[in-house]
Amino acid sequence: MKISIQPHKTNRASTLLAVALLAVVVGGALATYLLIVKDESMRGFRSQNWNTSLMVAEAGVEDALALVNKYQGTTNQLTNWYATAVSLDHWTNLSGTTSYQMSRKLGSLGTYTVTIANVVSNTTLGPILVPNITSIGTVTNTFGPAAVRKVFVQTKADSNVTGGLIAQTSMNFNGNNTTVDSFDSSDPSKSLWQTNLTFNGAYYGFYSSAFRTADAVVGTDGSIVQVGNANIYGYVDTGPGGGVSIQKNGSVGDLTWVPKSGVQTSPTNHLRDDMNVIFSDAVLPAPVNIWGSSWLTLPKLATTVTIGGIAYDYVITNIVGKPGTPTNQIYWQLSSMGKGDSLMVNASNVVLYLPGGITMKSGDNLSLNTNSSVSIYTGANIDTQNGAVNNSTKYALPFKIFGLPACTSISFGPNANLTAWIYAPEASVSFNGGGGGTTYDVVGSFMVHDVTLNGHYNFHFDERLKWVLPPYRFVADSWQEVH
């Protein structure tokens, strides 16, 4: 007899219910996992896009800096990029303003919209226009709103003049007891202040050792500075990895250090190797005379004129312009200033072009009278020999010398006394002799190819000259993310 036992139906129902519940739990867990993965992926994408949007905004800043520095070396309160550069580089003027805007798509990365707005910045030369940059970077998100970040950059004007005696390749004091220091002719507390002398309406001061500062820089983009036994109140700077040769009596440091032997390293290191200066060639300006767009030929006097006991063959004076036109910036040309010639500038805003350079001899004089100013562009070498260069203003700012590319040598004779600002990036400058026999000697700032001092000289950098020219470029001064 066979007995058949049938499974209880309740057990089968319980199993099916358990399987269904398990499927729900597993499905729920899987769904939750997928949601978590999706959310993590979305967060990852959004995080990447958030970071990318900052990169896109910074690309806009770089584009803006490229525009304002497109004519690096000739920037004059930003006027050089208002017209041509703006149209060629696809910027648009925001109507009725001095602001410019441009949008650009960076492939699949995103899009930036960048705006340049000019603001007034007060400098020692007075107010100048300086660009502020606002750049908005946008990156589209696959999920959710786009990632948008905004960057605001304030720029500052950067000058070629970094602090005194600056050369492209080398600086050699030949072991002599040279002194290099600084002062500030625009500061009554850092100069021998004058209340009866002005330049462009501003009072200024003379150099005096009693007002000496220690902010001079003796530097080269090259690899070595031969300090010798010089006393340098300030800093020595070379190109990266450069070195300094200093003898046992040489001293570099602040007012409390010099004339101790060696280089001061604490609390501030006065030895640097971060010199990085642009030596753009000097460019002859296009004449824009009140008489037309050509250089006026400077005539030689039929008979010499004696001023201050010196006989001059050439005298530049202010001339009367056309009716209703101010007398300003007169462009004169003289083929050369040769031996036996003496020249007096007794006028303001003079531009003098000497294509044949300057060659002097004993008794010759190149003079700048008080309340006068001149910018000399020389297309050949300068050799003063035993002649005299007299700047009666005792202020370097009114007396500028620009060496054009063909000017490869500037030589000053024995006992030279000089107050000038010299920019001649192709010229080897040498001082030959014993210095002027006073503590004054040379006042101003040089930026040249190389410098050699043969003799005992005192060189005084006028800190005011950091802004002799308009800035040659604009660099970021502050960077911040805004909302």
pLDDT in tens, 141-150: 766 688 899 9
pLDDT at 322 (0 to 100): 43
Q: Answer whether 470's CB lies under 8 Å from 76's CB.
A: yes
Of residues 142 and 366, the one with the higher pLDDT is 366
pLDDT of 328 higher than 50: yes
- Percent of the chain whose pLDDT exceeds 70: 81
pLDDT of 73 higher than 70: no
3-state secondary structure of 276: coil
Amino acid at the residue 105: K
Please compute the mean of the pLDDT values over residues 338-367 and round it to a whole number.
93
Amino acid at the residue 477: D
Q: Answer whether 241's CB lies under 8 Å from 221's CB.
A: no
Six-digit token pair at 414?
Answer: 């024995």
Closest CA to 471 of 239, 214, 155: 155
pLDDT of 124 higher than 80: no
d(CA 439, CA 217): 19
Q: Give 392-448 pLDDT, tens digit per residue.
A: 999 999 999 999 999 999 998 877 788 999 999 999 999 887 655 667 889 999 999
d(CA 112, CA 109): 10
Six-digit token pair at 408?
Answer: 């490869």
Q: Answer whether 108's CB lies under 8 Å from 314's CB.
A: no
pLDDT at 292 (0 to 100): 61
Please compute the mean of the pLDDT values over residues 292-312 and round it to a whole number.
88
pLDDT of 248 higher than 60: yes
> Residue 130, class by beta-carbon neighbours within 10 Å (0-12 exposed, 13-18 middle, 19+ buried)?
buried
Please compute the mean of the pLDDT values over residues 163-173 and round it to a whole number.
87
pLDDT at 91 (0 to 100): 85
From 38-52, 59-73, 429-443, the region with the lowest mean pLDDT:
38-52
∠ Cα 112 118 123 (to 5°): 135
Cis? peptide before 259, omega within 30° of 0: yes
Work out the mean pLDDT of the chain and round it to a whole number. 83
From 1-15, 175-189, 354-368, 391-405, the region with the lowest mean pLDDT:
1-15
3-state secondary structure of 51: helix
pLDDT of 345 higher than 90: yes
pLDDT at 10 (0 to 100): 55
d(CA 459, CA 347): 27
pLDDT of 105 higher than 80: yes
pLDDT of 49 higher than 50: yes
pLDDT at 436 (0 to 100): 56
pLDDT at 324 (0 to 100): 42
Residue 467 DSSP one-character state: G
Q: Which of 87-101, 268-282, 401-415 has the highest mean pLDDT?
A: 401-415
From 100-109, 236-245, 279-288, the region with the lowest mean pLDDT:
279-288
Q: Answer whether 353's CB lies under 8 Å from 377's CB.
A: yes
∠ Cα 477 184 182 (to 5°): 95
The model carries a pTM of 0.72
Cα distances from 220 to residues 129, 241, 381, 446, 450, in angstroms, run 30, 12, 22, 12, 8
Amino acid at the residue 177: N
Residue 125 pLDDT grade (very low, low, confident, very high; cuts 50, 70, 90)? very low
Q: Answer whether 357's CB lies under 8 Å from 333's CB.
A: no
pLDDT at 432 (0 to 100): 82
Of residues 206 and 274, the one with the higher pLDDT is 206
Residue 369 pLDDT grade (very low, low, confident, very high; cuts 50, 70, 90)? very high
- Identify the bridge partners of residue 458 per DSSP, sorted by sequence position: 179
Residue 52 phi, psi dihedral angles, 5° rounding: -65, -35
pLDDT of 320 higher than 80: no
pLDDT of 193 higher than 90: yes
Amino acid at the residue 482: V
pLDDT at 319 (0 to 100): 65
d(CA 395, CA 387): 20
pLDDT at 290 (0 to 100): 57
Element containing residue 244 per DSSP (H, E):
strand 243-246
Of residues 133 and 477, the one with the higher pLDDT is 133
Residue 85 pLDDT grade (very low, low, confident, very high; cuts 50, 70, 90)? low
pLDDT of 464 higher than 70: yes
pLDDT of 75 higher than 50: no
